[in-house]
């Protein structure tokens, strides 16, 4: 089932909170009408509400189980179907009494829009469109059919006022919550811009090692050190930076500082052999002058492009694949090297692999942990590694946390490794010390040091 997201950014958590509040508001309205219908002995309506409630509860159980986006769309669909049927069967316009149940369709569309902000999907966009179309149709036509069973007149008489008030309150609450979210988002964007221009970003370096446990390079990892606060991990600000279009600027800062570090390493005999890996986002890669800027930065910093590995994820290939391939070949011709990160977790066609100037694939940590949890996981990891080897690519196992995982992935043919078993991401000064202790000239590699 698609849509499972267990790790959430603060922004996503806030949007989920808004959706839950909308659900609770709808629950209050539903229970209220359930009581009214029961008092008036409208048992058909009571049963219909109970069926709708059970379906909605099932949808929210799916959402609570980790498939939030999918569960929320299912809940919207349930409420949409119920609202349409109620409008056609029971809330039928009559002399002086308009139909008003369709007003709730706006709240359903609002919840859909909030969910769309979390996760852009065609299914959610279509559901919003259908909901709004239904609202327009019911607002502009009476739609009275012979099969309709209008509710009693005295109940129908108070329905417009109650529905209008309830729908307005829910809509206002949703809009107010979205305003709070927008304000928070704007503040975060301003904070990111401030961090970029006031040198609050720092790079940490996670060692990359060979089969002997000797250091061969590092991956540059971005962190945000707000004054007087704890270090902020990228998962808490990168999504906001991407939505605001700031990633090209942030990405250029990362590349410039990573190349500066590499230039210093090249002047150190114990570190001159090291490579540096830098993550590239799709919006940065697709900048018109990305290739020229990168070549220029390498020239300005006097670093060998062959020491620079550009890490791309498979999501890059969901954009303009021809442009991506052309840019990769242009950079490869200049000497830069490419690594495909989180290999096996994306959706790109394997046919693209033969067209790309890749040197390395990185097996995602989820496959590494699964390899030691059971035979099926081991088979999957082994076949991913074998695929890379048959394509004449270096295979790096990331997320190594135990000696068992390290030895197992070596047996599968991996020749490069990364993970907490060897070292966590290190500050610049700590990384230099680590590199000197674990360079090829040293007798003991990082793995031997860890095991002691």
| pLDDT over threshold 70, residue 1 | no
Whether the CB-CB separation of 227 and 200 falls below 8 Å is answered with yes
Cα 123 to Cα 368: distance, rounded to the nearest angstrom = 33
Residue 371 contacts by C-beta under 8 Å, 6 or more apart in sequence? 377, 378, 380, 381, 382, 405, 408, 409, 412
pLDDT for the residue numbered 7: 41
Whether the CB-CB separation of 240 and 11 falls below 8 Å is answered with yes
279-288, 350-359, 424-433, 443-452: lowest mean pLDDT where?
Answer: 443-452
User: Which residue is listed with tokens 């919207």?
Assistant: 76
Coil, strand or helix at 132 = helix
What are the tens digits of pLDDT across the range 21-80? 666 666 777 787 788 888 878 888 888 888 888 887 888 778 767 677 888 889 889 889
| Dihedral angle computed from the Cα positions of residues 425, 430, 433 and 435, in that order, rounded to the nearest 10 degrees | 20
Higher pLDDT, 419 or 239: 419
What are the tens digits of pLDDT across the range 369-426? 888 888 898 999 999 899 889 888 999 999 999 999 999 999 999 999 999 999 999 9
Strand partners, 313: 341
**How do the domains of the chain map onto residue ranges?**
10-187, 199-358+422-451
pLDDT for the residue numbered 321: 81
Closest CA to 318 of 285, 288, 290: 285
pLDDT for the residue numbered 26: 66
One-character DSSP codes across 61-85: HHHHTT-HHHHHHHHHHHHHHHHHH
- Rounded average pLDDT over 300-325: 86
Q: How far is CA 382 from the centre of its chain?
A: 27
pLDDT for the residue numbered 199: 86
Higher pLDDT, 445 or 29: 29
pLDDT for the residue numbered 12: 55
What's this model's pTM, rounded to 2 decimal places?
0.67
121-135, 238-252, 412-426: lowest mean pLDDT where?
Answer: 238-252
Cα 225 to Cα 202: distance, rounded to the nearest angstrom = 7
What are the tens digits of pLDDT across the range 32-45? 778 888 887 888 88
- Rounded average pLDDT over 210-230: 90
Average pLDDT for the chain? 84
pLDDT for the residue numbered 2: 41
- Rounded average pLDDT over 343-369: 78
pLDDT for the residue numbered 20: 66
pLDDT for the residue numbered 204: 96
pLDDT for the residue numbered 412: 93
| Angle at the Cα of 306 from the Cα atoms of 301 and 312, rounded to 5 degrees | 95
Superfamily of domain 199-358+422-451: EAL domain (3.20.20.450)
Residue 232 contacts by C-beta under 8 Å, 6 or more apart in sequence? 223, 224, 225, 226
Cα 44 to Cα 138: distance, rounded to the nearest angstrom = 23
pLDDT for the residue numbered 95: 81
299 to 256, 264, 279, 321, 335: CA distances (angstroms) = 11, 14, 20, 27, 12
Using 50, 70 and 90 to split pLDDT, how confident is the model at 295? very high
pLDDT for the residue numbered 119: 77
Cα 29 to Cα 23: distance, rounded to the nearest angstrom = 10
Tokens of 451: 């095991």
- Rounded average pLDDT over 187-195: 84
Cα 162 to Cα 62: distance, rounded to the nearest angstrom = 31
Cα 393 to Cα 389: distance, rounded to the nearest angstrom = 5
- Rounded average pLDDT over 78-89: 91
Residue 338 phi/psi, 5° resolution? Answer: -125, 140
Using 50, 70 and 90 to split pLDDT, how confident is the model at 186? confident
- Rounded average pLDDT over 271-296: 92
List Cβ<8 Å contacts ≥24 apart for 38-46: 40/152, 40/155, 42/151, 42/152, 42/155, 44/149, 45/90, 45/151
Q: What is the DSSP letter of 149?
A: -
| Percentage of the chain exceeding pLDDT 70 | 88
């Amino acid at each position: 089932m698609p849509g499972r997201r267990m790790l959430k950014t603060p922004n996503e958590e806030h949007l989920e909170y808004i959706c839950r509040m909308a659900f609770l508001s709808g629950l209050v309205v539903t229970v209220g009408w359930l009581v009214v219908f029961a008092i008036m002995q409208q048992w058909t309506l009571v049963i219909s509400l109970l069926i709708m409630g059970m379906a909605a509860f099932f949808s929210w159980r799916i959402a609570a189980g980790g498939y939030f986006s999918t569960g929320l769309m299912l809940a919207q669909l349930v409420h949409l179907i119920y609202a349409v049927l109620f409008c056609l069967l029971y809330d039928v316009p009559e002399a002086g009494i308009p139909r008003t149940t369709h007003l709730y369709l706006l709240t359903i569309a609002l919840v859909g829009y909030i969910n769309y902000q979390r996760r852009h999907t065609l299914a959610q966009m279509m559901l919003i469109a259908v909901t709004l179309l239904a609202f327009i149709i019911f607002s502009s036509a009476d739609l009275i059919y012979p099969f309709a069973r209008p509710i009693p007149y005295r109940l129908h008489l108070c329905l417009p006022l109650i529905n209008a008030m309830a729908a307005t309150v829910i809509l206002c609450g949703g809009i107010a919550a979205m305003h709070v979210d927008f304000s928070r988002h704007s503040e975060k964007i301003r904070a990111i811009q401030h961090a970029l221009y006031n040198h609050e970003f720092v790079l940490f370096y996670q060692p990359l090692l060979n089969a002997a446990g000797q250091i061969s390079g590092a991956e540059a990892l971005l962190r945000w050190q707000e004054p007087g606060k704890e270090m902020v991990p990228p998962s808490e600000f990168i999504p906001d930076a991407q939505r605001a279009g700031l990633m090209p600027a942030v990405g250029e800062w990362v590349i410039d500082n990573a190349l500066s570090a590499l230039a210093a390493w090249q002047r150190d005999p114990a570190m001159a052999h090291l490579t540096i890996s830098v993550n590239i986002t799709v919006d940065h890669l697709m900048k018109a002058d990305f290739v020229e800027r990168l070549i220029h930065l390498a020239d300005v910093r006097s670093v060998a492009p062959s020491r620079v590995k550009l890490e791309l994820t498979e999501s890059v290939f969901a954009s303009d694949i021809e442009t991506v391939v052309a840019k990769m070949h242009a950079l490869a011709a200049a000497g830069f090297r490419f690594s495909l990160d989180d290999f096996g977790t994306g959706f790109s066609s394997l046919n693209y692999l033969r067209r790309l100037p890749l040197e390395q694939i990185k097996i995602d940590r989820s496959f590494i942990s699964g390899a030691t949890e059971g035979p099926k996981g081991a088979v999957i990891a082994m076949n991913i590694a074998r695929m890379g080897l048959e394509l004449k690519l270096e295979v790096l196992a990331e997320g190594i946390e135990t000696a068992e995982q390290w030895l197992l992935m070596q047996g599968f043919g991996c020749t490069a490794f990364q993970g907490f078993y060897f070292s966590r991401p290190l500050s610049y000064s700590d990384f230099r010390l680590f590199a000197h202790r674990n360079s090829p000239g040293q007798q003991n590699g990082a793995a031997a040091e860890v095991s002691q």
